[in-house]
Amino acid sequence: MSMTETKPAHITVLLQEAVDALLLASAGENGAYVDATFGRGGHSRLILSRLSAQGRLQAFDKDLEAIAEAGRIEDPRFSIRHEGFANLSDLAEGSVDGVLMDLGVSSPQIDSPERGFSFRFAGPLDMRMDTTRGESVAEWLATASVDQITEVIRDYGEERFAFQIAKALVARRQERGPISTTTDLAQLVADTVKTREPGKDPATRTFQAFRIFINAELEELEQALEASLRVLKPGARLVVISFHSLEDRIVKQFMAKHSKEVVDRRVPFAAPVQMRLNALGRVKPTADEVAGNPRSRSAIMRIAERTEVPA
């Protein structure tokens, strides 16, 4: 056995299903597609393998490690932007045949102690997707109030002990200075939360909440979904894979909202606002995929198709 420990490779969730759904767009293998969350490139590589010489793929990612991984793809049909996927809005209107969004955090990110995403590894309490900008979780916790911390843990972690955890964090800061490591945060939460569902670490919801908040993940998702409507051509596909209820609720409601005509009852003779998407349903991982990759168990993929734009 090697003395050098290697990090587990990232296993792309719903790989075949997502690419199949995306490439069923009207343009097929000749289209221009966007991988809005490159990650470690599993979806991008499969998309490229199935595109024709005329096809194009543009990717987005905030993570410097993802950008470095993308640099290993030597293919003139491929390009990547070091930006969050809300910047889809920069693309030309009606220029894209399909957008894929995989909202999961990649295994190398989670399993890198220095990134501070996981309570299972000792490391600095950072959690930023883009470490070149913005405030880390530790920096935010150094000044945040009990009310601010409570709101984040409650709203983004759906944690019923949010107030108790926030109160303990501020008390710790006043007594010994602010929390700055993943292990200290995990221990504080474990000491504060006395009951938890079987098989789930007490810190799970708090770590999720801080990660979502510090990266403005839900706000960026809402912006990216709105941007996708503008950049997708008629007949183009929107494919979104989410991993927790907060994300999936936003995606589900967005697709439902734009999959129906809206009549303004205040203006009875005005033409209804035309539906802009046709929601095509959802897909979950198979039992075999979950058995091989337990992190896939909460994944839900939703698919919609851009409708014709009224003249």
Question: Does residue 204 sit in helix, strand or coil?
Answer: helix
- Bigger pLDDT: 141 vs 308: 141
Q: What share of the chain is helix, strand, coil (3-state, %, to 5)?
A: 40, 15, 40
pLDDT-derived band at 194, boundaries 50, 70, 90: confident
Whether 263 has a pLDDT exceeding 60, the answer reads: no
Whether 242 has a pLDDT exceeding 70, the answer reads: yes
- pLDDT at residue 119 in the model: 65
Whether 5 has a pLDDT exceeding 70, the answer reads: no
- pLDDT at residue 2 in the model: 36
Is the domain of 196 the same as that of 230? Answer: no
Which two structure tokens, joined as six digits, stand for 265? 């009852």
Is the domain of 287 the same as that of 203? Answer: no
- pLDDT at residue 1 in the model: 32
Q: Judge whether 112 lies within some domain.
A: no
Q: Judge whether 114 lies within some domain.
A: no
Q: Judge whether 118 lies within some domain.
A: no
Whether 298 has a pLDDT exceeding 50, the answer reads: yes
Is the domain of 181 the same as that of 44? Answer: no
CATH of the domain at 249: 3.40.50.150
Number of domains present in the structure of the chain: 2
Q: Judge whether 7 lies within some domain.
A: no
Tens digits of residue pLDDT in 78-130: 999 999 999 999 999 999 999 999 998 765 566 666 676 666 768 999 999 88
Q: Judge whether 311 lies within some domain.
A: no
CATH of the domain at 162: 1.10.150.170
Is the domain of 202 the same as that of 241? Answer: no
Domain range holding 189? 132-214
Least confident of 67-71, 101-105, 184-188: 101-105
For residues 124-147, average pLDDT? 93
- pLDDT at residue 130 in the model: 87
Check: CB of residue 66 under 8 Å from CB of residue 106: yes
At which of 214, 245, 263 does a domain end?
Answer: 214
Q: CA angle, corner 283, sides to 282 and 285, nearest 5?
A: 155
Q: How far apart are CA 145 and CA 151, in angstroms?
A: 10
Whether 192 has a pLDDT exceeding 50, the answer reads: yes
Question: Does residue 81 sit in helix, strand or coil?
Answer: strand
Is the domain of 210 the same as that of 221? Answer: no
At which of 153, 182, 214 does a domain end?
Answer: 214
Is the domain of 27 the same as that of 70? Answer: yes
- pLDDT at residue 269 in the model: 60
- pLDDT at residue 84 in the model: 92
Q: How far apart are CA 23 and CA 138, in angstroms?
A: 42
Q: Judge whether 254 lies within some domain.
A: yes
Is the domain of 256 the same as that of 288? Answer: yes
- pLDDT at residue 41 in the model: 93
Is the domain of 247 the same as that of 210? Answer: no
Q: Which residue has the tokens 């602010």?
A: 178
Tens digits of residue pLDDT in 224-235: 999 999 999 999
For residues 195-209, average pLDDT? 85
Check: CB of residue 134 under 8 Å from CB of residue 211: no
What interhelical angle do 217-231 and 245-257 show, nearest 10?
Answer: 30
For residues 52-74, average pLDDT? 95
Q: Judge whether 116 lies within some domain.
A: no
For residues 47-52, average pLDDT? 98
Whether 132 has a pLDDT exceeding 90, the answer reads: no
Its pTM stands at 0.88
Is the domain of 93 the same as that of 152? Answer: no
Give the sheet arrangement for strand 56-60, strand by strand.
78-81, 56-60, 32-35, 96-102, 232-242, 300-306, 277-283
Is the domain of 96 the same as that of 237? Answer: yes
Which two structure tokens, joined as six digits, stand for 288? 């075999």
Is the domain of 223 the same as that of 100? Answer: yes
Tens digits of residue pLDDT in 12-38: 899 999 999 999 988 999 999 999 999
Tell me the average pLDDT of the chain: 89
At which of 158, 182, 214 does a domain end?
Answer: 214
For residues 288-292, average pLDDT? 93
Is the domain of 84 the same as that of 233? Answer: yes
Q: Which residue has the tokens 């990650």?
A: 39
Q: Judge whether 113 lies within some domain.
A: no
